[in-house]
Structure 1
Amino acid sequence: MTAGHRSQGEQGLTRRGLLGLGALGAVSAAGAVGMWKAASGGATNTVSGTPTATGPVEPAPPSATPSPFAAAGNLTKLGGAVPFTAGKALLGSYLGLKGMSYPEAVRYRRKQLGRDHRIAHVFYAWPDRLPTSIEGMPKKAIPMVSWRGPKYDKILSGDSDDLIAAAARRIKELDRPTLLRWGWEMNGRWYEWGGFQNKRNPEGYVKCFRYLREIFDDQGAGNVSWVWSPNWNSSPDEDWNRMEAYYPGDDFVDWVGVSGYNLQQESPATLFDPVYQRYAPRKPLMITEIGAKDHGGTSKADWITDFSEYVAQRPAIGASVWFDTDTHPNYPEAWRFDTDPQSAAAYRAMATSPRFSA
């Protein structure tokens, strides 16, 4: 996200999109609701802020990618309350189009694509009341709530326990499987919940993530799947700030996400393979923020096609959430996918492909 969207979030504005996932064998959103209820008893590259000087990461060839979930055990448990669908990927979006309300934008995209997105991606500031409903969200969509964090001391001191517990109760009231993406891009310098702005202390982030999950569990928010979502590269690019230093542990993470945009014409493999290589053996992967920049000619359409083919080759990717907007206040790029006919066609081809049919 951007600095502009961050300031809007602090004013209580929410952002909408959508994320849906099915269980092994392509379970519907309604089926996923039943599953969690039964289980519970009822180079520079970020659109977020300060750029990083990290150069491209050389990806391993597709043939060298590890067999997904080699050590994961029971596949039906992957993803938590929002289960992973073997061989399928959910396509979602953060959706904000000029001149349209969110419900209007949903209807417009449905007409263009002949389908709804499966993820409703919304953004909330730390003190905001988290949603108990999302107006206009498609019926089969699963929300993904990206929730800002404060400095670590505000959590670990216990001063925010009541706020966290209230947030858990509100998410529980959504009464459907929900993805919670707390404190994303923590390995960047641009957010106050990142290690850089917390005395270079990744362990503090790990403690906060675990602390939040324990309170949510205590409040009975069994409909939540926890998404841990670093940026594709780290800023600063120093040993202490490697993304793996922020990983809360397999017992606390249901989905591993990653943000990545082709700002410097990076390939999908450059952006996402390092995370895939490290975590695909044990966790389902989600591209939590993605957009294609137009570098001239048919570059945007070509990149969307390349990304679709990339996902087709990597079975552990279970969801992708497009940054589908032209309302980004502090960045000139229109991230919406339909900036030209070729890009719109490439996105529609991806959206209607079997790989994105979850």
Structure 2
Amino acid sequence: MTLVTATVIAAVIAAVMTLAGCSEAEGSRARPRQPAAQERVPPPGEKAPPGRTPRGEATPACAVTAKLIPSCGAWWGMAPEIFTGVPVDRALKGAESRMGARADVVHVYHRGKELFPTEREIGLARDPAGPRLLLVNWKPSMEHTWAEISDGAVDRRIDRLAGHIRRAFPERFFLTIHHEPENDVVPGPGSGMQAADYAAMYRHVVLRLREGGVTNAVTVMTYMGAPNWAAKPWFEELYPGDDVVDWVAMDPYADSRVSDFDGLVNKTRDDYARWPGFYRWTQLHFPGKPVMVAEWGVFERAGDRSFKREFFESVRARMRAYPQIKALLYFDSPHAPRGDTGFDTEPSAGRAFSELARDPHFRSTRVPRP
């Protein structure tokens, strides 16, 4: 057999193996607290994890769609060091250093007249060491009702933002409009804050941005994902429509009633028996749409210092059971409203989180360069 023939055969075999399951790597375990670029090189005779080259780099077979859906595995992301006052670029790089891995997506928050992406955010997206995706979370107005926004109250603000994005940031990015609307709903005619008003507001903002030339925003509809809100009679009226929603997202947190990853993404309660859990609900209503866990966090549990470590281990063990979850973004904050969600508040938790962040499931697909 000639050298050329052997090379061709090897390439074909590698391609077939990759396409057969580039996101499945149940047995792979990475060393904690090392950058992704330093992943262990398998010795001769040992196969690299599916979707990876022998040196741990994403394979060409794992691509990214126009809607930023990774074909293999899922994006790994973070809202870093929230409520600390640290600028986002420093916060993210600090968090990446602590967990020993890079984030694919950085979650940032804006409201009102603020223009985005900012210079710092653009710097993270265009980092020469490797690009990142942005998830921009925007509340268009804190002074106007949803009905007023959909009637044009902040159109000049939307148009100004569209001009800024056209000039400053042509790359694709994730955009969510007024996340977690459930607890802002005010039922009753005339409130301007009914669920249907939210849907109309969301549609108006997205369509206005598109008319202004913002065609690079991949839109995300972000719910709380909690059973008590999902049981409301108006819950399904919140959805703005498939034509303006590319991804569906949830923001679940591991409180005292959540013990593992299954309970996180499918929260249920006995007193809301008809609610199947958020992930199951998305599969019933939006079976073709990618699902994002846009915020998730694990609170300290009094008397159980091992809880965070065990929870992070459950995520790693169970995440492949939810194939439509294509992005997982941690909310890292010592001052979250209901507690400390820092991922390394205890050494063993930090190690487990680092192993999770470096799992091949999150390293299969490379963030596209601008």
Is the structural similarity TM-score above 0.5? yes
**Stretch of structure 1 that moved more, 146-155 or 248-257:** 146-155
In structure 1, distance between residues paired with 2:134 and 2:156: 23
Query: Are residue 165 (structure 1) and residue 159 (structure 2) matched?
Result: yes
In structure 1, distance between residues paired with 2:60 and 2:210: 24
TM-score by length of 2: 0.68
In structure 1, distance between residues paired with 2:330 and 2:263: 18
In structure 1, distance between residues paired with 2:278 and 2:230: 16
Query: Are residue 207 (structure 1) and residue 200 (structure 2) matched?
Result: yes
The secondary structure found in structure 2 opposite 1:137 is helix
Query: Are residue 155 (structure 1) and residue 149 (structure 2) matched?
Result: yes
Q: CA deviation at 1:110?
A: 3.2
Identify the residue that residue 282 of structure 1 maps to in structure 2. Answer: 288
Q: 1:234 and 1:277, CA in 2 relative to 1: closer, same or farther beyond 3 A? A: closer
- Do the aligned residues in 2 keep the contact of 1:132 with 1:170 (CA within 8 Å)? no
Q: CA deviation at 1:95?
A: 0.9
TM-score by length of 1: 0.71
Q: CA deviation at 1:196?
A: 5.0
Deviations 1:222-264 (A, max 9, x none): 110000011111555653232x321112111111110000112
The secondary structure found in structure 1 opposite 2:326 is strand
Identify the residue that residue 209 of structure 2 maps to in structure 1. Answer: 216
**Stretch of structure 1 that moved more, 153-162 or 92-101:** 92-101
Identify the residue that residue 142 of structure 1 maps to in structure 2. Answer: 133
The secondary structure found in structure 1 opposite 2:244 is coil
Q: 1:130 and 1:154, CA in 2 relative to 1: closer, same or farther beyond 3 A? A: farther
- Do the aligned residues in 1 keep the contact of 2:148 with 2:192 (CA within 8 Å)? no
Q: CA deviation at 1:309?
A: 2.5
**Amino acid of the structure 2 residue aligned with 1:166:** R
**Corresponding residue to 1:94 among 79, 82, 87:** 79
**Corresponding residue to 1:253 among 239, 245, 253:** 245
In structure 2, distance between residues paired with 1:160 and 1:199: 15
In structure 2, distance between residues paired with 1:23 and 1:259: 30
**Amino acid of the structure 2 residue aligned with 1:148:** K
**Corresponding residue to 1:335 among 318, 336, 341:** 341
The secondary structure found in structure 2 opposite 1:146 is strand
**Corresponding residue to 1:124 among 110, 118, 122:** 110
Query: Are residue 305 (structure 1) and residue 305 (structure 2) matched?
Result: no
Structure 1 residue runs of 5 or longer lacking an equivalent are 1-21, 33-75
**Stretch of structure 1 that moved more, 343-352 or 84-93:** 84-93
The secondary structure found in structure 2 opposite 1:279 is helix
State which structure, 1 or 2, has the greater radius of gyration over its C-alpha atoms.
2
**Stretch of structure 1 that moved more, 231-240 or 139-148:** 231-240
Q: CA deviation at 1:129?
A: 2.3
- Do the aligned residues in 1 keep the contact of 2:146 with 2:198 (CA within 8 Å)? yes
Q: CA deviation at 1:318?
A: 0.6
The alignment's C-alpha RMSD in Å is: 2.6
Identify the residue that residue 224 of structure 2 maps to in structure 1. Answer: 231
**Amino acid of the structure 1 residue aligned with 2:253:** Y
Identify the residue that residue 62 of structure 2 maps to in structure 1. Answer: 26
Q: 1:115 and 1:245, CA in 2 relative to 1: closer, same or farther beyond 3 A? A: same
Deviations 1:15-66 (A, max 9, x none): xxxxxxx999434xxxx6xxxxxxxxxxxxxxxxxxxxxxxxxxxxxxxxxx
Q: 1:99 and 1:215, CA in 2 relative to 1: closer, same or farther beyond 3 A? A: closer
In structure 1, distance between residues paired with 2:193 and 2:149: 17
The secondary structure found in structure 1 opposite 2:245 is coil
Q: 1:272 and 1:149, CA in 2 relative to 1: closer, same or farther beyond 3 A? A: farther
The secondary structure found in structure 2 opposite 1:123 is strand
**Stretch of structure 1 that moved more, 250-259 or 152-161:** 152-161
**Corresponding residue to 2:355 among 342, 349, 352:** 349
Paired positions, count: 279
**Corresponding residue to 2:173 among 145, 165, 178:** 178
Deviations 1:294-348 (A, max 9, x none): 21231111111212323221111110111012244x54x2211110111111111
Structure 2 residue runs of 5 or longer lacking an equivalent are 1-57, 267-276, 366-370
In structure 2, distance between residues paired with 1:293 and 1:84: 29
Deviations 1:47-95 (A, max 9, x none): xxxxxxxxxxxxxxxxxxxxxxxxxxxxx56xx2xx2112311111111
**Amino acid of the structure 2 residue aligned with 1:127:** K
In structure 1, distance between residues paired with 2:233 and 2:192: 11
In structure 2, distance between residues paired with 1:340 and 1:90: 25
The secondary structure found in structure 1 opposite 2:308 is helix
In structure 1, distance between residues paired with 2:147 and 2:107: 27
Report 1:311-330 matches (<5 A). Answer: 311-328=319-336, 330=337
In structure 2, distance between residues paired with 1:240 and 1:128: 34
Q: CA deviation at 1:285?
A: 0.5
